[in-house]
Structure 1
Amino acid sequence: MKPTKLPREQKDQMISMIQHYFEIERSEEIGNLAAENFLDFILKEIGPYLYNQGISDARTLINEKMIHIEDDLYALEKQLK
C-alpha cells in the first residue's frame, strides 16, 4: 500500500486538532513538528487498519445492495406458461 498523501490544508487542520487534543486532554503543548510527526506515525501505523475496515464496510454494503438488485431482477421476470 502506498503512503497516504493528504492535501496540505487537511494535514494542517489535523495537526491543529492533534495540538488541541494534547492541550485539552494531556495539558501539554506540542509544536507543529511534533504534531506532524505524530500524525505521520498514525497514518503509517494505524491508517491501514482504518482503511481495511472501510474496505470491509464497503464490501458489506455492496453485498447487501447486490442482494436487493438480485431480488428486483427476479421480480421483473415474466411468468412463463
Structure 2
Amino acid sequence: MPIELNKEARSEAIKSIERYFQENMEERIGNIAAGALLSFFVDEVGPVIYNQAVAEVQERLQVRISELDLEVHEDEFQYWRKHDAQRKARK
C-alpha cells in the first residue's frame, strides 16, 4: 500500500523542510528540491514508520480483545444460585 500525503500535508511538509534548511543548514533548499527530498523520505522511510504504527495498533487491539471477556463476561446458570441466595436471605 503506497503511502501518500494529501495536498495540504505535502505543502506543509515542504514548507517545514525549507524552514529547517534555512535555520539549520548552511545553504537553503528550494521548493522543488524540498519536494523531492520529501518524496524520497516518504518512499524510503515512510513504510518503516507505517509498519511500526500498524504493529503497535495490532498489539493494542489484541490487549483490548483479551480484556473484552473480563469486561462483558456473564456467569452462566446463575438462576438457581440467585434464587437460593434470595430464599436464604428471607429466612
Normalising by the smaller structure, the TM-score range is: 0.7 to 0.9
Give the partner amino acid of 2:35. Answer: E
Aligned pair 1:23/2:22, yes or no? yes
* Greater alpha carbon shift after TM alignment, 21-30 vs 54-63: 21-30
- Matches for 1:60-79 after TM superposition, within 5 Å: 60-74=59-73, 76-79=74-77
Q: State the Cα distance separating 1:29 from its structure 2 match.
A: 0.7
Maintained 8 Å contact 2:3/2:47: no
- Matches for 1:1-80 after TM superposition, within 5 Å: 1=1, 3-74=2-73, 76-80=74-78
Q: Distance in 2 between matches of 1:70 and 1:57?
A: 21
Q: What's the TM-score, normalizing by structure 2?
A: 0.76
Instruction: Give 5+ residue unaligned stretches, structure 2.
Output: 82-91
Same amino acid, percent of matched pairs: 28
Q: Distance in 2 between matches of 1:79 and 1:17?
A: 63
| Alignment RMSD | 1.6
Give the partner amino acid of 1:57. Answer: E
Match of residue 89 from structure 2:
none
Number of equivalences:
79
Q: State the Cα distance separating 1:79 from its structure 2 match.
A: 4.9
Q: What's the TM-score, normalizing by structure 1?
A: 0.84
Query: Larger C-alpha radius of gyration, 1 or 2?
Result: 2
